[in-house]
Structure 1
């Protein structure tokens, strides 16, 4: 996988299933798409990096936000593609449905959030530059972006640049997204991989790898 130019080519943005994403997510999925160890690590990362009583935007979310139960926030705004999932999310004070691949402009005010979260979903963005520019717009100075992912995905809905890359290349791709977006600090990378992979992982002997890329609004 090679990034051509400052962003992606049309081919790199393409999906095997080019139908409207809203159709794919029309039916609610009240499941989690990574293992419990990944989710526990994600919650711990949020515990370490987020501040109580802050304003949080959970982009590309669903029925659970993985925020620490003991932490209280001033506001948590959820976003996703399925209203039933978002309506069941107990951490969301309010939420909205929007297909970011068709409309990247967020219906939120400038500098209105202390943190923006994108959990196990960045691989589906076809216009990441537009979405991250909007993320930067709604973040307050010093606000934090946390993008987390593993090696699981809906293969037909992930962009080619993601499908064709290794885990290391996907980490590099997310860092590239952030570096190419004005107003973010140099990204910080967290990569934690279980020694049991491949056939061992399929037998339940390993854990999903945990990757996160973080940056602050500057």
Structure 2
């Protein structure tokens, strides 16, 4: 992981079954959704509740669809993802950035740029999540939300080992801990927004608000 003294998990926790370069794995565009429609609707509802209308939004680890509420207008939506073709297909994006966050976890944006950030069903692929989330806190305006959603589905060979070792409650606790270790989020909460337990994909979220400065 990193040499950050606040990081409490060993490097082995962030190893993957497939350690080949992520650029190769994501080279082929995948124009599919990775959770079912009820779970997607739950993501959209969370964005409706937490992301500010009219704000600049960061869609982190983005692809060809952002799941933002169709009726809400934003000042702009920046998508950062791994596949240029997927980002080009996404009609909600006003700016597109191709970047492998496992190779470079630092975001190419000025501090306090965005009014909100969504990170949808991808947190389990990050090999240095604390640094990435610290960067998210930096580029968010004070008080702006990050909405991190996840389910029980993933590309198993690319998800980090600690994710495989935990159940859903463990994932919620882990992501909240990563936000705590990032050091620039407050008011974190874990949410179970599973739309139809046992009949559709579960959907969980961790929401936090950025703060800048001490305390």
TM-score, normalization: structure 1? 0.91
Query: Whole-Å Cα distance in 2 between the matches of residues 7 and 23 of structure 1?
Result: 30
CA 1:126–1:148 in structure 2 vs 1: closer, same or farther (change >3 Å)?
A: same
Q: Give how far 1:44 is off.
A: 1.1
Structure 2 contact 82–99 (Cα < 8 Å) conserved:
yes
- The equivalent of 2:202 in structure 1 is 209
Structure 1 contact 7–177 (Cα < 8 Å) conserved:
no
Query: Whole-Å Cα distance in 1 between the matches of residues 172 and 52 of structure 2?
Result: 25
- The equivalent of 1:104 in structure 2 is 105
Residue pairs, 1:1-218, within 5 angstroms: 6-193=7-194, 194-196=196-198, 206-218=199-211
Query: Whole-Å Cα distance in 1 between the matches of residues 8 and 18 of structure 2?
Result: 22
Q: Give how far 1:188 is off.
A: 1.0
Structure 2 contact 50–147 (Cα < 8 Å) conserved:
no
Unaligned runs of 5+ in 2: 1-5
Report the secondary structure of 2:185's partner residue.
coil
Q: Give how far 1:6 is off.
A: 3.5
Q: Give how far 1:155 is off.
A: 0.3
Q: Give how far 1:52 is off.
A: 1.4
Report the secondary structure of 2:62's partner residue.
coil
Query: Whole-Å Cα distance in 1 between the matches of residues 162 and 109 of structure 2?
Result: 29
Query: Whole-Å Cα distance in 2 between the matches of residues 177 and 90 of structure 1?
Result: 31
The CA deviation string for residues 84-116 of structure 1, in whole angstroms up to 9 with x for no partner, is 000000000011110000101111011000111
Q: Give how far 1:192 is off.
A: 3.3
What RMSD in Å do the two structures reach over aligned CA positions?
1.1
Query: Whole-Å Cα distance in 1 between the matches of residues 11 and 46 of structure 2?
Result: 34
TM-score, normalization: structure 2? 0.93
